[in-house]
Chains A and B, each alone.
Chain A
Amino acid sequence: DQQVKQNSPSLSVQEGRISILNCDYTNSMFDYFLWYKKYPAEGPTFLISISSIKDKNEDGRFTVFLNKSAKHLSLHIVPSQPGDSAVYFCAASVDKVNYGGSQGNLIFGKGTKLSVKP
């Protein structure tokens, strides 16, 4: 049973337009969400995160939106650039520090391959 789902395996966007990547989750205990970007032959690179106490977090061209009631988050990239072409992974975890443990145990989606065309 997949707890984090990225239902779109691929997305193609024109340069300068907005890219919207979606992610759904099923575990209501998740309270920390992250987006990673991955180029071929490299490890995932942390992009942006959001805690469940927020519904929006913005960093430059990247904005993550969280809808807890719908158990849905999205990553918006605007304007999209050809260099943004990569696989984007959504991940979620439970903040175990508040439960006496250490934070970790990221659950990943399968990724969405974004292609930004010039």
Chain B
Amino acid sequence: GAVVSQHPSRVICKSGTSVKIECRSLDFQATTMFWYRQFPKQSLMLMATSNEGSKATYEQGVEKDKFLINHASLTLSTLTVTSAHPEDSSFYICSALRDVPYSNQPQHFGDGTRLSIL
């Protein structure tokens, strides 16, 4: 159990394009999902926390108008990189937290999306 699917796995597009990435929890409900970004030789950095039915919480330095997050159901969160530029090229990865009534649960990760902006 605890499978998270992320799609697409790789995107190559021109500067100025908007790109949508989907994150689905396949066999569990997830009120809370997370979006991370990883640059080469760096650790995973949290961008935002996505909560079903409410606005996402963004980490300091992450532009919410640039990275639009929608969490419309208990199994789906989307990240849209609007008007992407070469500096947005990175590895984006989502995770989901299983809805359980107690704390200290691991996050379960998707396989990530490699975004390359030309």
Residues on A close to B: CB < 8 A?
A: 2, 4, 32, 34, 36, 41-46, 49, 51, 89, 95-98, 102-111
> Which A residues lie within 8 Å of B106 (CB)?
34, 46, 49
Contact of A44 with B109 in the complex, beta carbons under 8 Å: yes
Q: Which of B45, B104, B108, B109 contacts A103 (CB 8 A)?
A: B104
B97 contacts across to A, CB distance below 8 A: 102-104
**Which 6 residue pairs across A and B have the least CB separation, nearest first?**
A97-B103, A43-B109, A46-B106, A108-B43, A43-B111, A108-B44
Shortest distance from the beta carbon of A93 to any chain B beta carbon, whole Å = 9
Given contacts A41-B111, A43-B93, A104-B32, contact A95 B104 (CB under 8 A): yes
Does A111 lie within 8 Å of B43, measured CB to CB? yes
Contact with A along B32-61 (1 / 0, CB 8 A): 101000000111111001010000000000
